Amino acid sequence: MIEVKYFGAVAEKTKCEFETLSFSEQCSLQKLLQDLNEKYEFESLTFSVAVNQKIVSKTSDYTLQTSDIVALLPPFAGG
Amino acid sequence: MSSLTRYNRQIILPEIGEEGQEKLSRSKVLVIGAGGLGAAILPYLASAGVGEIGIVDHDVIEISNLQRQVIYKTEAIGKSKAKEAKAMIAELNPLVKVKAISEKLSGRNAISLFEKYDIIVDATDNIAIKYLINDACLVTHKPMVYGSIFRFQGQVSVFNYKNGPTYRCLYPEENLNAANCEEAGVLGVSVGIIGMLQANEVLKMILGIGAILSGKILVYNTLNNEQQKYDFEKNDFQSITREAFEEKYNKCEVEEVSFESVLNEMDNDEVLFLDVRNVDESPKISLKNQIQIPLMHLESKLEKLDKKQTIYIFCQSGIRSKIAFELLQKHRFKNIKSIAGGALAMRNLLEEKKDSHEFTNFIF
């Protein structure tokens, strides 16, 4: 299982602030992001991605590990 | 001595002392935006004794601002935010030198402004200006204290601190669509909390105490009081030169005019028609005040042009003249325009006019 956290406008789209996903072996971060994008249609939303509290490149070939926590962090603009 | 009494409760902190207070009084902080975040940041920087504070905001106070921009009084509606914020600080702590800058921050004023301060605080409410602040901080080597809000969540970070990671390292894609408070809604306390965290980072940096949020973004949720810190690293490509900054932010659109609209200026000696085609190109156009310098030689023959004149640039169809426009602009020519459609459009118009005998003073 991995946990995915959503923030800001991304959480508006997913309608939840976190969810736990079961994952098949050898699931890459890129594949996860692709699946989430299909599920929630993030479209023009931009966000950075963190794995275990560290921002990583969305195109990195990282393979997800059991109990990883992924976070989707969009920029905020209010002030 | 009165200042020692004024600041006594912080001077008695072992981490601060009289030495720390001296650092505060010597520091210069520029706060960009005197809205919700600024309204939280400004009074705390002023009351702590920051020596010099600059406030940049071109807006006026509106009634819908007051639920979160708590430094403004109801009677100040319609007045300049920067000036009202300055007046507030003057009453709060007259020892602070304050400058109200009621201008919009832009590529034209950012660098000269930033150079006068030690720390730049981003208390703005739109993404485009955050990239501008970030880039100007890179050029001037200043730290940027970032804060922003989305409904009940806020983000805080310090960029470019001692050459550390920048806003572009965190958000490389310049997407300008994120919603601001007007669109998304916000509770006053949320901006207050985030502004206060920003002010805290400013004071820590000046005093040299604690750990700065450099290479870390703090995300705060006011509904469940959860806060998370995420680490991020500096991207290799994130340096920006002054030239690249000017190029990005101060480049004007090419100004085009139709030949017809400038026909009546043909005999004006203040005006020059600049043909940037090669000499063997036709149709030949010869107007009274005309010069031909092929585009490829233009940069080396700029001395032939007078910056005081209005210069109408043309080529065959209006493409090269745009390149010439940018080149002249780079060399600080101000009164320049590119003729749409180039010589082809000019010839057609001149022939029309010739048939109707309106103009006779040109030769093909």
Ranges of each domain in chain A: 2-73
**Please, are residues B320 and B278 in contact by the beta-carbon 8 Å criterion?**
no
A contacts of B122 (beta carbons < 8 Å): 79
Structural domain contains residue B139: yes
**Please, are residues A40 and A21 in contact by the beta-carbon 8 Å criterion?**
no
3-state secondary structure at position B20: helix
Q: Which residues of A touch B (CB under 8 A)?
A: 5, 7-9, 44-46, 48, 50, 53-55, 71, 73-79
Q: For residue B359, is pLDDT > 80?
A: no
Q: Which of B221, B245, B269 is the last residue of a domain?
A: B245
Q: For residue B252, is pLDDT > 80?
A: no
Confidence grade of residue B238 (pLDDT, cut at 50, 70, 90): low
Supply the pLDDT for residue B364: 47
Question: What domain range includes position B104?
Answer: 2-245
Report residue B159: phi and psi, to 5°: -100, 155
Strand residues in chain A grouped as ranges (E): 2-6, 18-21, 48-51, 54-56, 69-73
Q: For residue B34, is pLDDT > 50?
A: yes
Least CA distance to B40: which residue of chain A? A79
Nearest to B46, CA basis, from B103, B100, B113: B100
Q: For residue B106, is pLDDT > 80?
A: yes
Cis, peptide link before residue B143, omega less than 30° from 0: no
Q: Which of B223, B245, B267 is the last residue of a domain?
A: B245
Contact state of A79 with B125 under an 8 Å Cβ cutoff: yes
B contacts of A9 (beta carbons < 8 Å): 150, 178-179
B89 and B199 within one domain: yes
Nearest to B31, CA basis, from B51, B47, B49, B53: B53
Q: Which of B181, B214, B245 is the last residue of a domain?
A: B245
Averaged pLDDT score across all residues of chain B: 92
Q: Which tens digits make up the pLDDT trace of B161-210? A: 999 999 999 999 887 766 666 778 999 999 999 999 999 999 999 999 99
Instruction: List b or e across B157-174, with b for residues whose CB sees 16 or more CB atoms inside 10 angstroms.
Output: bbbbbeebbbbbbbbeee
Total domains, chain B: 2
Confidence grade of residue B362 (pLDDT, cut at 50, 70, 90): low
B208 and B341 within one domain: no
Helix (H) / strand (E) containing B220: strand B216-221
Structural domain contains residue B111: yes
Average pLDDT value for residue range B314-328: 90
- Interatomic CA distance for residues B101 and B297, integer angstroms: 43
B101 and B30 within one domain: yes
Superfamily (CATH) of domain A2-73: Beta-grasp domain (3.10.20.30)
Structural domain contains residue B362: no
Q: Which residue has the tokens 């009274």?
A: B288
Pick the more confident residue, B351 or B113: B113
CATH number of the domain at B9, please. Answer: 3.40.50.720
A contacts of B37 (beta carbons < 8 Å): 79
B285 and B259 within one domain: yes
Supply the pLDDT for residue B216: 98
B168 and B31 within one domain: yes
| Residue to substitute from B59, B148, B150, B238, interface A, most A β-carbons within 10 A | B150
